[in-house]
Amino acid sequence: MIKKVGHNLAQFCVKNACFILPYPEPRARARFLKNSALFAYVLVLLFFQLYIYRISPRILGFATDITTTELYQLVNQERSEQGLPPLKRNSKLEQAALKKAQDMFAKNYWAHYAPDGSTTPWQFITSAGYTYKYAGENLAKDFDTSESLVTAWMASSSHRANIVNTNYKDFGMVAVNGTLLGEETTLVVQMLGSTLGSTTTATSGGTTSNPTGGTAGAKAPAPVPPPAPKSQPLAVVGPTESGEDPTPAPAQAKMAPLEQIVRAFNPTASPKAVPLGFGFLLLGLFAIDEVYMLKDGLDHQELKRTAENVGHMVILGLLMVIVWTMRTGGII
């Protein structure tokens, strides 16, 4: 019985090996590499892309999978891991974040402070009716997923300091699509704050200021970059805004190499998963084809085919390199 099953299994493997090996005809392509198979891959990819484009009208040219619900969960998850109480979702801060995002699109800038020099993040908060004692702002753009965005914020000491700051009790976030600096962009604005009436414990976080006092109208100490507007009572400001470089290089999350690879190949976490996975599969099939020819010595006919294999492998390798190095977003 076992012998029969083993025999059948061996036969099955031999029979189906021709899908990945140039078998039984040594000079033929494996079935998965024949033109008909390549044509099928093209059709499948085309179909999925058109389908995705059709069912996802919210997706812009350079799309993201960011949802504010996920962002709220992930930020509070980071806080709970630090033993901090969760922040409360605040509609006024959400409104302020939305106004800030709209202002960046309208005035075409990517910074905590508008280029006119007079528009500050705190104006959006106060105009939304939120009377703050402490306030902060984190910005991000062009991230693929909520997870990658929060990971990048947590990898930046100043943004992390805002997220795990014990002075904050409330937060509001929005993800808004639009055209910024000539490119389709998804902006994420996070406003954090606590009201004058709320009690706070000791401040944590590296670059945020730790104001003393706590009554409206008290003179604020000069916050660490950038300085808070003097007209505001107390403010903990956005983290790294310097006003010098409106489009800084994207901050990369500090992850272990293996974690980066696993993440990149995870289709739910990254849009790079399908290109990398499929590219890797095709690259492997061409490599097997090449190895198979080399194994038994190349005949004249096979020798001519090696150029195709090498060329195809190199262009697929190039594709994988450029997909891997594609930017995933920026934070300020």
Partner 1 sequence: MKKWGWTAHFLALAIIFSSSLWAFLQFRDSPILQLYVVIAAVVAYDAWGLIYHYFRRRLTLDLVLEYLLVGALVILLFFWTLFS
CB closer to partner 1, 46 vs 218: 46
**Contact string (CB under 8 A) for partner 1, positions 139-158, x = contact:** --------------------
CB closer to partner 1, 136 vs 275: 275
Distance of closest approach, residue 191 Cβ to partner 1, in angstroms: 26
In whole angstroms, give the CA distance from residue 193 to residue 125. 9
In whole angstroms, give the CA distance from residue 81 to residue 177. 31
CB closer to partner 1, 214 vs 250: 250
- Burial of residue 155 (number of CB atoms within 10 Å: 0-12, 13-18, 19+): middle
Residue 311 binding partner 1, by CB under 8 A: yes
- By CB under 8 A, which span of 43-51, 97-105, 123-131, 195-203 interacts with partner 1? 43-51
Residue 298 binding partner 1, by CB under 8 A: no
- By CB under 8 A, which span of 42-50, 77-85, 122-130, 289-297 interacts with partner 1? 42-50
Residue 261 binding partner 1, by CB under 8 A: no
Backbone conformation region of residue 117, classed left if phi is above 0, alpha if psi is from -120 to 50, else beta: left
Distance of closest approach, residue 232 Cβ to partner 1, in angstroms: 33
The structure tokens listed for 248 are: 């800084």
Distance of closest approach, residue 274 Cβ to partner 1, in angstroms: 5
In whole angstroms, give the CA distance from residue 331 to residue 153. 7
Residue 172 binding partner 1, by CB under 8 A: no
Binding site for partner 1 (CB under 8 A): 35, 38-39, 41-42, 45-46, 48-49, 52-53, 59, 61-63, 183, 247, 271-272, 274-275, 278-279, 282, 304, 307-308, 311-312, 314-316, 318-319, 321-323, 325-327
